Structure 1
Amino acid sequence: MEELKRLLQYALVYKWLFITGIVLMILMVGFELLGPFIAMLILDNHIKVGGNSIELTPIFQLLGLFFFIKVLHAIFSYYQTVILQKSGALVVQNMRNDIFRHVQKLPIRYFDDLPAGKVVARITNDTESILQMFSIVLPMFMVSALTVGAITVIIFTINLWTGLMMLIFIPLVILWMILYRKYSNDYNHNKRERNSDMNAMINESINGMPIIQIFNREAQIEEEFGALNDNYVKNSKRLINLESATGENLLESFRSLIFAVMVYIFASGFLNDTQALSVGTMYVLVDYITRFFNPLYNIIGQLNIFEEARVAAVKVFELLDAKEEPDDNGRLENFSGSIQFKNVGFSYDGKEKVLEDININVATGETVALVGHTGSGKSSIINLLMRFYDPADGEILFDGRNIKDISRQSLRSKMSIVLQDPFIYSGSLLYNIRLNNKDISEEDARAALVSVGGEHLMDRMDAGIHSELTERGSTLSLGERQLISFARALAFNPKVLVLDEATSNIDSETEQMIQHAMKVVSRDRTTFIIAHRLSTVQHADQILMLDDGRIVEQGNHEKLMQDKKNYAKMYEMQVTGTPV
């Protein structure tokens, strides 16, 4: 139950709200249980003894008191509900913020094998289950526990044997709850897992819908989703069967037995005048016994939701317990742009090396191109440069300083990157350029867009740079999305610019525009370019040809063409279609 202790830590932040709600809840239960006593007083003291001449005044007074108590009960019930639900909402709000903040600090390695839909399920679905527990289930459990406890004490004072009989059933219900948790735990875990899997599959299917439809895979995807959904329903049915077999049926049996005892006590009392129960007392006992079982119905009816929330909390805390990127304190001040890779080696899985003996010396303002076949290690070098991963061997130096001694945030603040598949957020064109960074003015954002040749985007949109874009920029061409991504990188005025296949998906006219812009913006900036189209890197100061994680050729375009090795062969094949 460690997860419940951790949930309690979140709740303690708002302990005074919870305490206020619980105090109001106690008062609410107290006023609710006073009702039957007033009815008993009316029956025994004014109706039964009154005979043919019943005094109405005291009865109306007691009825007025009864009404007043009910009004107080309604007021306390309203405010305890509002306060406790507000407290629960604040707890879950904090938890969601913590999860989202934590997810952003997780290393890229964590997401290598984790579908995005599962992370979404943790932040949305699982926290929603926890919210239900705080807002509905726990308040109901507390009200029910207070009601059951108070009624047990009251019945003990009225009739010892009935009280003892009811007391026996409380541990039986607790035992049932323990057994329920034992058998339902696996079903709930499986149910939450399948829910996460379905979220992941939905997310993946939506993103890949064009591929699914082009290759006519709708039926297969539907079948795969159906299998997950069937498994989810299977576990849901098991939970339903477990509840149906034990829940209300169990309590109905208990209640029938209690009423049988009550009939016996009542009959015995009438046979013996010295022990006879009054009508009012009998009414109170029947009323309280009914009230005694209603909370137990509520507890058992909500156990499934409680267990789902508990399992959801386990999943949430598993995510929160994932190790964040180390919080390095070193800052990178007055960085000139000089970068060195010294005997760098790297492996993603700790077994198979993807980079080995990488040595690169980049002077301030130089442009370095990384070329080679797919899987040769180009992207891995960039991953190390951005410190998404740390090298297993060797070291990477920024102005002679090991990047392991520099905080990731400080390091990345000196860089901008343009990816092959540019991401466009829902929001304005201005937002997509400066990403809500207030240090970048609207004028700077406009200038960056103009620099990469994107002024036509502002011209053709009704609201110009304030025009709203759809998620992923679905209404823009690929070239236009790439231009926005370039403008974003330039607006941040980086010391190091990384272009990861940035010009591979644009037309020739747009490529010429960007090439011209890049010659301007790369001046006085260290630039790394990953490229398959070798014609786009002829201007680079250094071109590194990689093969199987090693640098096999190094030099500028003229030198590598003179060497007539792999680079020259690849270039001639791309340009003329015939190898040298």
Structure 2
Amino acid sequence: MEKQTTEKRLFRYALYFKKTIMIGLVCLIFAVGLELSGPFIAKHLIDQHITGVANQYVETDDQTGVEWQGQYYQRIDRIEQEDGAMITLFQDGLHYYLLEGEVPLEAAFVEADETKITLDYQGEQIEVNGSQLSTGEVLSFFQGEVLPIVGLLALYIGLILIASIFIYYKTYLLQYASNRIIQKMRKDVFHHIQRLPVKYFVDQPAGRILARVTNDTEAIRELYVKVLEVFASGSIYMLGIFVALFILDVKIGLIALVLVPILVIWMRVYKKIGGHYNRVIRETNSHINANINESIQGMTMIQAYDQTNRMMGEFETLNEKQRTYQTKMNTFNAATSFNLVDLLRNVAFVAFILYFGNVALDGTTLISAGLLYALVDLINRLFEPMNQMASQLEQLEQARASGSRVFHLLDEEGEPMNHQAIPRYQGKVVFDQVSFAYKKDDYVLQELDFSIQAGETAAFVGHTGSGKSTIMNLLFRFYDPVHGRILIDGEDTRNYSKQQMRQHIGIVLQDPFIFTGTILSNITMNDPAVSREAAIAALKAVGADKFIEKLPRQYDEPVKEKGNEFSTGQRQLLSFARALAFDPAILILDEATANIDTETEGMIQQALQVLKKGRTTLVIAHRLSTIQQADKIFVLQHGEIIEQGNHVSLLAKEGEYFKMYQMQLGKNKQHIS
């Protein structure tokens, strides 16, 4: 199946909340329609009630018209019968003249004396009777226009107020949908992370994964919260303006349409160049997060081995790379995006002036002042959404780059999830010709063949790299064998999901992980199947109650990140109690006593003697003194079992186990002496 592009996948996420988005866009359409009524109202107001006053007037008996020297007159465009005496109110700049008869309004003023006005009409001069009006006399012609003007202004204000309500709901709905989209995306990402195999987390630095869940999804959130609204609003607003331009003047509308392909071409150019810069910036930022995470995690070792300068150097290299590309991105934006809109605005107005200059010279088409104002207003408005869209191009490319990284994570093959309960194991474990390699053909285990009966305690010993921990990783299904089978009670572990298989297996690692919360929540893992009483009993069984009951809130004592307020031994006891509280049929101890003092180790050994009855226990041993009571001991070397038996029989063979025991015994004697 062909993978979808980042844009299509981002769009698909938006479709989850398409109803909310569609309602928001409908509100936007109404708001744009109401707002764009302004130029049409202004055109009507100017042409009909301001410049339209300069017109021909017909004498009438209707006393609602304009009164002049005892007679009433109506504008010729507002009366059906034109058989009365006519006068013309002629305007030249800021001066008004009252002329006898019907005079062409397109005529040009030449000169005036007290009773005669000379005009130029189509290259010929004409003289008409008339005189210049004073300001007070002109106002009598405007008195009837005041109420319509006020009415139109009130209508426009009302429409703007209604539009503001639609804009509010548009903004609210689009941002609500945007936040829901990113909430779902983060949920999907986090849920998918839980399904990824352990190998993924071994290969990927934690900081890079963290950056994808936090920084990258935040950048995508900005896409939906800001960019979606800006581009949706801008597109609809521009469409509305083009419709208005075509209604007012088709030629101007066609000229303005040239801007659309220019904008589309520019966005494609920006996507290619700006997209490259943003991908490098986001990737470098991810590496910076990984570097910071590693520095914080290993700060003790960094300071202990005086590696601060090296770590600062590595960080500064990444920081400088991020700054360099961010500067390139800023320079690219400054030189193009904002200048582009200004350039297009200026070119558009030049074309506008040339067009109307040509119309004026031609003289065949009359351009009213209202039409001119409306067209200028609309063209000026056209560049507002263009400017906003250009300003969001950088954010758009950041979101696209982040989306690509997030979807790359989501494309990582996860594991099937199945939590359906299975019967408790009896506990027989068999490795049947098991071979395993972390890397191709570099086998850590080779044809491993052994069995552990239910209820037995088996220990695995060997030098570093012999494959001890790998056996536990395979049994717990952090990995699966390359060859061979692992059987529990005769059933291949791959016949169950990993969640099912782990239901009856407990594990205690050498380096225990303590979660933020309370002591009890760390034992129960917030699983309702583990009661408070069972958790406390497990803590007491391992002897952890001795230090817990000295704490102010005892078992409800808050635990900080990683449980750093506890000693290594105390953290290990908590981890041990966690495993025991779930009462596993099979218990894995991976070097669980390696970092524990002798007194704490003694408490664990005592607890084990009670708890291992009816439970299969597998121990990876660092201290051979802790496994002397094991039913079986397997000695590993380079991924193969070279010896097996119990403590006594292995010593009697005087083989590898005997050498290891003698070596540890000698060290202990030296330490004691």
1: CA distance between counterparts of 2:210 and 2:321?
20
How far off its partner does 1:350 sit?
Answer: 2.2
TM-score under structure 1 length normalisation: 0.97
1: CA distance between counterparts of 2:400 and 2:284?
16
How far off its partner does 1:7 sit?
Answer: 2.0
How far off its partner does 1:325 sit?
Answer: 2.1
What runs of 5+ residues in structure 2 fail to find an aligned partner? 54-137
Contact 1:140 1:298 in 2 (8 A): yes
1: CA distance between counterparts of 2:253 and 2:8?
34
What runs of 5+ residues in structure 1 fail to find an aligned partner? none
Q: Residues 418-457 of structure 1: matches in 2 within 5 Å?
A: 418-457=508-547
Q: Does 1:63 find its partner at 2:66?
A: no
The aligned counterpart of 1:49 is 52
Q: Does 1:21 find its partner at 2:24?
A: yes
Q: Residues 132-147 of structure 1: matches in 2 within 5 Å?
A: 132-147=222-237
1: CA distance between counterparts of 2:48 and 2:668?
113
Contact 2:418 2:500 in 1 (8 A): no
**SS of residue matched to 1:577:** helix
Deviating above 6 A after TM superposition, structure 1's stretches of 4 or more consecutive aligned residues are 328-331
Residue-pair matches, total: 579
Q: Does 1:40 find its partner at 2:43?
A: yes
Contact 1:106 1:324 in 2 (8 A): yes
Q: Percent identity?
A: 42
How far off its partner does 1:108 sit?
Answer: 1.1
The aligned counterpart of 1:344 is 434
Change (3 A) 1:328 1:342: farther
Amino acid corresponding to residue 224 of structure 1 in structure 2: E
Deviation sequence 1:107-159 (CA, Å, 0-9, x none): 11122211011111111111111111111101210111111122122212323
Greater Cα offset, 36-45 or 472-481: 36-45
Change (3 A) 1:61 1:414: same
2:169 counterpart (79, 102, 109): 79
Cα RMSD after superposing both structures:
1.7
2:258 counterpart (157, 161, 168): 168
How far off its partner does 1:501 sit?
Answer: 0.7
How far off its partner does 1:269 sit?
Answer: 4.5
Q: Does 1:380 find its partner at 2:383?
A: no
Larger RCO (CA under 8 A, 6+ residues apart): 1
Contact 1:424 1:472 in 2 (8 A): yes
2: CA distance between counterparts of 1:578 and 1:292?
85
The aligned counterpart of 2:598 is 508
Q: Which has the larger radius of gyration?
A: 2
Q: Does 1:177 find its partner at 2:180?
A: no
2: CA distance between counterparts of 1:386 and 1:14?
40
2:221 counterpart (131, 149, 165): 131
Amino acid corresponding to residue 589 of structure 2 in structure 1: L
Q: Residues 312-327 of structure 1: matches in 2 within 5 Å?
A: 312-326=402-416
Amino acid corresponding to residue 10 of structure 2 in structure 1: L
Deviation sequence 1:516-535 (CA, Å, 0-9, x none): 01111111110011111100
Contact 2:477 2:498 in 1 (8 A): yes
How far off its partner does 1:76 sit?
Answer: 0.8
Deviation sequence 1:280-308 (CA, Å, 0-9, x none): 21111111111101111111111111111
Change (3 A) 1:274 1:411: same
The aligned counterpart of 1:462 is 552
Greater Cα offset, 262-271 or 168-177: 262-271
How far off its partner does 1:505 sit?
Answer: 0.8
Greater Cα offset, 441-450 or 566-575: 566-575
Change (3 A) 1:330 1:150: closer
The aligned counterpart of 2:584 is 494
Amino acid corresponding to residue 31 of structure 1 in structure 2: L
2: CA distance between counterparts of 1:578 and 1:212?
31
2: CA distance between counterparts of 1:387 and 1:273?
88
The aligned counterpart of 2:645 is 555
The aligned counterpart of 1:108 is 198
2:374 counterpart (284, 296, 305): 284
Q: Does 1:475 find its partner at 2:478?
A: no
Amino acid corresponding to residue 79 of structure 1 in structure 2: Y
**SS of residue matched to 1:112:** helix
How far off its partner does 1:9 sit?
Answer: 2.2
How far off its partner does 1:268 sit?
Answer: 4.2
Contact 2:43 2:373 in 1 (8 A): yes
Deviation sequence 1:23-81 (CA, Å, 0-9, x none): 11111111111122222222221122345224321112111111111111111111111
2: CA distance between counterparts of 1:411 and 1:431?
23
The aligned counterpart of 1:9 is 12
**SS of residue matched to 1:325:** coil
1: CA distance between counterparts of 2:479 and 2:608?
27
How far off its partner does 1:418 sit?
Answer: 0.6
Contact 2:424 2:504 in 1 (8 A): no
2: CA distance between counterparts of 1:141 and 1:19?
14
Deviation sequence 1:219-257 (CA, Å, 0-9, x none): 221111111111112222222222222212222222112
Deviation sequence 1:520-575 (CA, Å, 0-9, x none): 11111100111111001111100111000000110000001111111111112212
Amino acid corresponding to residue 17 of structure 1 in structure 2: T
Q: Residues 162-241 of structure 1: matches in 2 within 5 Å?
A: 162-241=252-331
Amino acid corresponding to residue 578 of structure 2 in structure 1: R
Contact 2:422 2:500 in 1 (8 A): yes
Greater Cα offset, 262-271 or 301-310: 262-271
How far off its partner does 1:366 sit?
Answer: 0.4
How far off its partner does 1:417 sit?
Answer: 0.6
1: CA distance between counterparts of 2:457 and 2:343?
82
The aligned counterpart of 2:446 is 356
Higher helix share: 1
**SS of residue matched to 2:231:** helix
Contact 1:369 1:542 in 2 (8 A): yes
2: CA distance between counterparts of 1:254 and 1:327?
56
